[in-house]
Amino acid sequence: MNTRLEIEWNVEEIPGVVEDLSRTAAECVKAEGIGKKVYAHLTITDHEEIRQINREYRGIDRATDVLSFPSTDCTPEKTLGHCEKKLLREMDETGYCFLGDIIISLPRAQEQAEEYGHSLKREMAYLTAHAMFHLMGYDHMEEEDKRRMRAMEEKALGLAGAARVTDEELIEMAMDAMQFSYSPYSHFKVGAALLCKDGKVYTGCNIENGSYGATNCAERTALFKAVSEGETEFTAIAVTAEKSLPWPCGICRQALNEFAPDLRVIVACGDERDEAPLTALLPHGFGPRQGTLDFLGKE
């Protein structure tokens, strides 16, 4: 492993975050094109400690979301991927080069995840990527530098499976999935792309069968793929077709409602687009969020 992220928790540890953040850090280094073995130290703490560090080292008496302290003095004009000599000066006895220290406020990350409507894991991954690129010399004080840094962040987050996905990108993924449609009976190709709360996307197509009841819609193909890999929180789905706007059928609406009654449903056909919340497509839905677990399976 060429990238190591040493994580210290000064607050209660969140299960499953360590692997995500380590993967994000590794993809940042890969995106920068650094071939040497490197490591960084990440401390996850609370409002008060990050405020104290911010006050002591930056003269700013307030809590923030993330702080980074590079071990080198690289700049946006010549980032660490182009400064091998500086990097090698930070090599320790293990053969790894030290990039610097990162501090993240867990309470602030939780607040921002709620504000932006995505998962805590997605927010923590973003803050880690943002800080990693600071360690490698990137900055966002000037507009051009900001654009470069944002592009690198999105590239790394995409490789780590935590990218922000636009509606148009989601539609394009659904269109790509549509090409694999198995629809010899209806000749109506459908593709779907389901966006998870943590930024991952699962795609699917409609798969027909000579026994029509065994046919599976694109929406459920994407949904079942996601759930089978442990994903149960979703924010949007794009559904595409070639002949007309493919609003989900009743079974698909019910299947989606099981996990995400507040899902945004985007449909597209050619240049035509439309959108509706799942609650409008399935009013008075029947599922866990509507209380079914309170009485189903109970005597």
Question: What tokens does 170 get?
Answer: 């989601």
Which residue stretches of the chain have pLDDT < 50? none
Question: What tokens does 231 get?
Answer: 């994903």
| Residue in 157, 138, 123, 145 with CA at minimum distance from that of residue 30 | 157
Q: Report the C-alpha dihedral over residues 58, 60, 66, 67, rounded to 10 degrees.
A: 0
Question: What tokens does 110 get?
Answer: 């939780």
What pLDDT, on a 0 to 100 scale, did the predictor assign at position 293?
A: 74
Residue 165 near residue 235, CB atoms below 8 Å: no
In angstroms, the CA 173 to CA 190 distance is: 12
- Give the number of other CB atoms < 10 A from CB of residue 82: 15
What pLDDT, on a 0 to 100 scale, did the predictor assign at position 131?
A: 97
Question: What tokens does 177 get?
Answer: 């999935």
Report the first-to-last Cα separation within the chain, whole angstroms.
53
Q: 155 to each of 32, 100, 136, how far by Cα in Å?
A: 10, 21, 15
Residue 63 near residue 108, CB atoms below 8 Å: yes
What pLDDT, on a 0 to 100 scale, did the predictor assign at position 299?
A: 66
In angstroms, the CA 171 to CA 266 distance is: 8
What pLDDT, on a 0 to 100 scale, did the predictor assign at position 199?
A: 76
Q: 227 to each of 95, 117, 122, how far by Cα in Å?
A: 41, 20, 18
| Residue in 249, 243, 241 with CA at minimum distance from that of residue 215 | 249
- Give the number of other CB atoms < 10 A from CB of residue 37: 16
What pLDDT, on a 0 to 100 scale, did the predictor assign at position 288?
A: 83
Letter string b/e over residues 14-35, b meaning 16 or more CB atoms within 10 A of that residue's CB: beebeebbbbbbbbbbbbbebe
- Give the number of other CB atoms < 10 A from CB of residue 241: 23
Length of the chain equals: 299
Q: 3 to each of 71, 139, 219, how far by Cα in Å?
A: 16, 21, 37
In angstroms, the CA 70 to CA 271 distance is: 47
